[in-house]
């Protein structure tokens, strides 16, 4: 569109961690002060543009710099180098109720917090009833906030925040609070924001939220932008990174590495390799497992994921009630899936082998892929082949 709402241009942020905070230490270490300061880059040369009415997710592992980036976009931190430009009103929900003061009543806090977020007193007064209704804590609105439960606190804060009416909204991990009905209410509200053409940048660890809400995602790793793409690509890239990290961190206890999945094949019922089937058709998955040492008990499992990384189907030998014979050397586990009534699309096979209890020995994500063909015209997971007709109505004629 070439008319971005947010432009992040070569933003880097350097943090200096000083170990000496008191005057005495500073004076004593005055000459060596530079040596005592530890420098690290929370962000390095991050650039992207965001078009209006998009919802962007910033994802990454802990300490990847996503919250720092959000704060820089919000103007709370100043970048060391680079610039951020944006247009329109902005509301940052970095921490719900950051401006709440425990000694003030809910009502007083609503006014204070709304003015911190940029509403005038008159505007707040106009939305006040709505805010209270949204929060659902009418009875306690004149109670001091310090007596609120944490859930009530969050409800009231979110209620204020969503009534601020920003063009750009920054959200940091705030959706993970509140009970389920309230969370649903929040999600609905965010969806309404999206429909109204507002721009949202959110930081989250809940990768499902990314799928659900966002139309773009940026993956950060140690302050660097490693991927900027669709939520599906980004979540996949991030999950691969997690898996990689886990693999590297996993202790090689009990010769775990000695059990391997060597191959995964997608076959038809006659045993020929297969790329695509029609919806409702049959499929055979063969998993080759190899172990250098003898394993009395072992479990092999499969999972099918669709292009949205949604788990469509999964099972393993233990869930099926099978106890495979001891594993030593090479074995082939065969799963026959007689009918896959799925909607049109690509499906990815994940396999894993593990002991009945304890960590996985080996896991291969998306090792094989197959396609399911159907007539399309469907969304979701299941292919149901519906019939449709208009039934003659009565009364209106």
Partner 1 sequence: MLSDRPAAFDRSTACDRPTGLPRHELEPGHAGGAAAAPLRLVHPPRSFARGFLPDVADVWAYRELLGNLVRKELKVRYKDSVLGFLWTLVRPLLQLFIYAIAIGVFLGQGRAIPDFGVYLFTGLVAWTLFTDVIGGCTGTIVSNAGLVKKVYLPRELFPLSVVGAAVVNFALQLVVLVAAYAVTESWPRPADLPLVPLALAVLVVFGTALGLVLAAANVYLRDVQYLVEIGLLLWFWMTPIVYDWTKVRTNLVDHHGLSWLFQIYLANPMANVVLAFQKALWPGGDTRQGQPFAYDGDLYLRLGVLLLVCTALLWCAQRIFARTQGNFAQEL
Residues in contact with partner 1 by CB under 8 A are 3-5, 7, 15, 21-24, 26, 52-53, 71-78, 83-89, 92, 94-95, 98-99, 101, 103-104, 108, 111-112, 115-117, 120-121, 123, 126, 144, 165, 167-168, 194-199, 215, 230, 232, 307-308, 344-345, 377-379
For partner 1, the closer CB: 26 or 328: 26
Cβ contact 350:364 at 8 Å: yes
Place of tokens 């965001």: 50
- 27/293 with CB nearer partner 1: 27
Nearer to partner 1, 23 or 253 (CB): 23
In terms of CB distance, is 69 or 289 closer to partner 1? 69
CB of 145 to partner 1, least distance (A): 11
Least distance to partner 1 from the beta carbon of 244, Å? 23
Complex with partner 1: residue 90 or 219, whichever CB lies closer: 90
| Pair 286, 264: CB distance under 8 Å | yes
**What is the nearest approach in angstroms of partner 1 to the Cβ of residue 288?**
30
Residue with tokens 């969806």: 191
Nearer Cβ to partner 1, position 2 or 273? 2
- Smallest distance from the beta carbon of 115 to partner 1, in angstroms? 5
Q: How far is the CB of 60 from partner 1 (least distance, A)?
A: 19
Least distance to partner 1, CB of residue 365, Å: 18
Q: Which is nearer to partner 1, 216 or 362 (CB)?
A: 216
Q: How far apart are CB 146 and partner 1 at their closest, in Å? A: 10
Task: CB nearer to partner 1: give 213 or 285.
Answer: 213
The Cα 290–Cα 8 span in angstroms is: 49
CB of 134 vs partner 1, minimal distance in Å: 13
Q: How far is the CB of 352 from partner 1 (least distance, A)?
A: 25
Closest CB to partner 1 among residues 170, 352: 170
Which residues, listed in sequence order, are joined to residue 285 by a DSSP beta bridge?
266, 335
């Amino acid at each position: 569109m070439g008319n971005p709402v947010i432009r992040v241009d070569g933003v880097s942020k350097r943090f200096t961690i000083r170990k000496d905070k008191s005057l005495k230490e500073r004076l004593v270490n005055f000459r060596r002060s530079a040596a005592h300061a530890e420098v690290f880059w929370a962000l390095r040369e991050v650039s992207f543009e965001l078009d209006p009415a998009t919802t962007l997710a910033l994802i990454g592992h802990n300490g990847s710099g996503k919250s720092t980036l959000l704060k820089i976009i919000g103007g709370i931190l100043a970048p060391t180098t680079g610039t951020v430009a944006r247009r329109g009103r902005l509301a940052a929900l970095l921490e719900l109720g950051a401006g709440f003061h425990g000694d003030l009543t809910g009502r007083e806090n609503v006014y204070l917090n709304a003015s911190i977020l940029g509403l005038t007193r008159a505007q707040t007064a106009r939305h006040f009833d709505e805010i209270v209704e949204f929060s659902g804590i009418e009875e306690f609105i004149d109670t001091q906030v310090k007596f609120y439960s944490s859930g009530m606190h969050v409800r009231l804060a979110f209620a204020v925040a969503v009534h601020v009416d920003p063009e750009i909204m920054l959200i940091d991990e705030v959706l993970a609070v509140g009970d389920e009905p309230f969370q649903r209410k929040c999600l609905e509200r965010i969806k309404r924001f999206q429909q109204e053409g507002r721009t949202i940048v959110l930081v989250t660890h809940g990768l499902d939220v990314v799928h659900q809400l966002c139309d773009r995602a940026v993956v950060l790793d140690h302050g660097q932008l490693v991927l900027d793409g669709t939520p599906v690509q980004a979540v996949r890239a991030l999950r691969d990174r997690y898996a990689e990290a886990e693999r590297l961190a996993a202790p090689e206890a009990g010769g775990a590495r000695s059990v391997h999945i060597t191959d995964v094949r997608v076959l038809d019922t006659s045993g020929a390799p297969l790329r695509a089937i029609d919806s409702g058709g049959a499929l055979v998955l063969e998993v080759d497992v190899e172990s250098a040492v003898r394993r009395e008990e072992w479990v092999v499992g499969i999972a099918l994921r669709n292009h949205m990384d949604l788990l469509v189907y999964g099972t393993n030998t233990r869930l099926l009630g099978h106890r495979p014979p001891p594993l030593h050397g090479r074995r082939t586990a065969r799963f026959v899936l007689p009918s896959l009534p799925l909607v049109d699309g690509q499906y990815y096979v994940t396999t894993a082998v593990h002991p009945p209890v304890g960590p996985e020995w080996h896991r291969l994500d998306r090792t094989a892929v197959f396609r399911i063909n159907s007539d399309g015209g469907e969304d979701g997971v299941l292919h149901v082949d519906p019939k449709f007709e208009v039934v003659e109505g009565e009364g209106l004629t």
